[in-house]
């Protein structure tokens, strides 16, 4: 295991397989590591195999709820253009991260109900609402959330960010992973995505070349 995956102090000291099972998730990549392998060892093997999607899934499962929501919020901000106002689902989710109380959780819940159809940031709010394993604040707290729903919501937000620029898929994957690792060590995870690649000039069409001749 490399130092890159060491000192993940906020990750539970359970085997990766157990954390995945608790969230009703499983990896697609066939592992050489034993079932008892900790998260750090499995991450290192997945990294060596460039299994980015499985890395994001394992990180979504391994991060504690508050850290998981923050990671999702950073992914949501990847989709924003400069100067754009955050969507309500994103701003309420961030408010819950900074102050994880029932009032902010209720605001995140309400934001989901009023979100536009194509608002991907609802994944952040869903992760916040299900953070304690229940359906939400107030009376909803009496009912359990679907197993792994919060983890899967954060994972979905991460994958959406990852695929936002397919020309830099690998580079974006590295950033997504490094953010989660920094958060798992107690850091803010604020690592910027790579700048978009410059567009290649279009080749002139044959008709245009004939006119120039």
Q: Tens digit of pLDDT for each residue in 119-140?
A: 999 999 999 999 999 999 999 9
Instruction: Give how many domains the chain has, as a whole number.
Output: 1
- For residue 27, give its domain range: 3-184
| Assessment of whether the complete model's pTM goes beyond 0.75 | yes
What CA–CA distance (Å, rounded) separates 156 from 178? 17
**In-domain check, residue 21:** yes
Mean per-residue pLDDT, 104-120: 96
15: phi then psi, degrees, rounded to nearest 5: -60, 145
| Position 105 in a domain | yes
Would you say residue 208 lies in a domain? Answer: no
Q: Give domain status of residue 109, yes or no.
A: yes
pLDDT tens readout for residues 38-56: 999 999 999 999 999 999 9
Which phi and psi angles does 134 have, rounded to 5°?
A: -115, 175
Q: Is the pLDDT of residue 18 over 80?
A: yes
Query: Residue 198: pLDDT above 80?
Result: no
Residue with tokens 């990671």, as numbered in its chain: 71
DSSP state of 148: T
């Amino acid at each position: 295991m490399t130092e890159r995956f060491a000192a993940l102090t906020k990750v539970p000291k359970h085997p990766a397989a157990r954390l995945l099972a608790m969230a009703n998730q499983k990896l697609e990549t066939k592992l050489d590591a034993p079932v008892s392998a900790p998260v750090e060892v499995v991450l290192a093997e997945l990294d060596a195999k460039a299994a980015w999607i499985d890395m994001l899934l394992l990180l979504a499962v391994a991060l504690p709820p508050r850290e998981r929501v923050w990671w999702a919020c950073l992914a949501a901000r990847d989709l924003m253009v400069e100067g754009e106002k955050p969507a309500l689902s994103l701003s309420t989710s961030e408010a819950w991260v900074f102050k994880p109380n029932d009032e902010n959780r209720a605001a995140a819940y309400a934001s989901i109900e009023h979100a536009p159809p194509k608002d991907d940031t609802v994944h952040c709010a869903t992760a916040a609402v299900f953070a304690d394993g229940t359906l939400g604040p107030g009376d909803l707290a009496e009912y359990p959330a679907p197993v792994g729903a919060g983890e899967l919501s954060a994972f979905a937000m991460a994958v959406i960010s990852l695929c936002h620029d397919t020309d830099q898929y690998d580079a974006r994957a590295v950033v997504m992973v490094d953010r989660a690792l920094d958060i798992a060590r107690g850091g803010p995870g604020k690592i910027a995505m790579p700048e978009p690649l410059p567009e290649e000039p279009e080749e002139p069409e044959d008709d245009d070349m004939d006119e120039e001749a």
